[in-house]
Amino acid sequence: MGPIGLLCIRRTLADGRATGFAAGLGAATADALYGSLAAFGLTALATLLIESATPLRLAGGLFLLYLGLKTLFSRPAEEAAAGDHRRGLAGAYVATLFLTLTNPMTVLAFTGIFAGLGAETLTLSGGPGPAVVMVAGVFTGSALWWLLLSGAVSVLRGRFTPVWLLWVNRLSGLLLLAFALTLLAGLLPG
């Protein structure tokens, strides 16, 4: 379970299933974008992203640090927020989209997986259709995972007492801080 999974779980516990799923859709969108880079053979752009690893890691690490501190010191919601969730849904989506996009290892993973599947020849031999289907499959599979995770957490949410939710916040905050510090430590020389 990585930082995005923790954020999805925490968002679901604090703000409800829709917000947790919106957070997951941000990650699914980033997965589809990086999948597109790999499937369509956009190696120049992929290379640029890999060469930009240091600023991306710094931005992602600082954002995770912020989220970790905010989570660690926040009080859990007694019940999911009611009413207008548009800003909350959009905020959850954008935050996880940003965090997933700032991980240059994601593009490397997709490039390796798609190369292993022979995706580099998809656009050459069959036009863009097969690559589009592959990227749609990545997005759909990722979105289904986030739907299942946020749904399962939402079902269990009622079993958590306010004290348990406080400890979930504290543990999630500490884990997010650990991910942030690990990411930022990778920027140190040597």
Residue 83: pLDDT band (50, 70, 90) is very low
pLDDT, position 133: 84
- The CA-to-CA distance between both ends of the chain, in Å, stands at 28
Structure-token match 């931005």, residue found: 59
What are the structure tokens assigned to 98, written together?
A: 């940003």
The angle that helices 162-185 and 3-15 make with each other, rounded to 10 degrees, is 150
Per mean pLDDT, which range of 83-87, 114-118, 174-178 is the poorest? 83-87
CA distance 86 to 71: 21
User: Tell me, what's the pLDDT at 14?
Assistant: 85
Average pLDDT, the chain: 79
pLDDT tens per residue across span 22-69: 999 999 999 898 888 777 766 566 666 667 778 877 887 888 888 889
For residue 190, being part of any structural domain is answered with no
d(CA 32, CA 107): 10
Q: What's the confidence (pLDDT) of residue 145?
A: 94
For 142, the domain range is: 3-185
Q: What is the band of 80 on the pLDDT scale with cuts at 50, 70, 90?
A: very low
What is the C-alpha to C-alpha distance for residues 44 and 109, in angstroms, rounded to an integer? 16
Q: Does the residue 92 lie in any domain?
A: yes
Domains in the chain: how many in total? 1
pLDDT over 60 (residue 139): yes
Question: pTM for this one?
Answer: 0.72
- Average of pLDDT values for 147-171? 88
Domain membership flag for residue 47? yes
Q: What is the dihedral of CA 133, 119, 60, 188, to 10 degrees?
A: 170
Residue 141: band (very low, low, confident or very high) from pLDDT cuts 50, 70, 90: very high
Q: Quick check: 111 and 37 in contact, CB under 8 A?
A: yes
CA distance 59 to 156: 33
Domain contains 102: yes
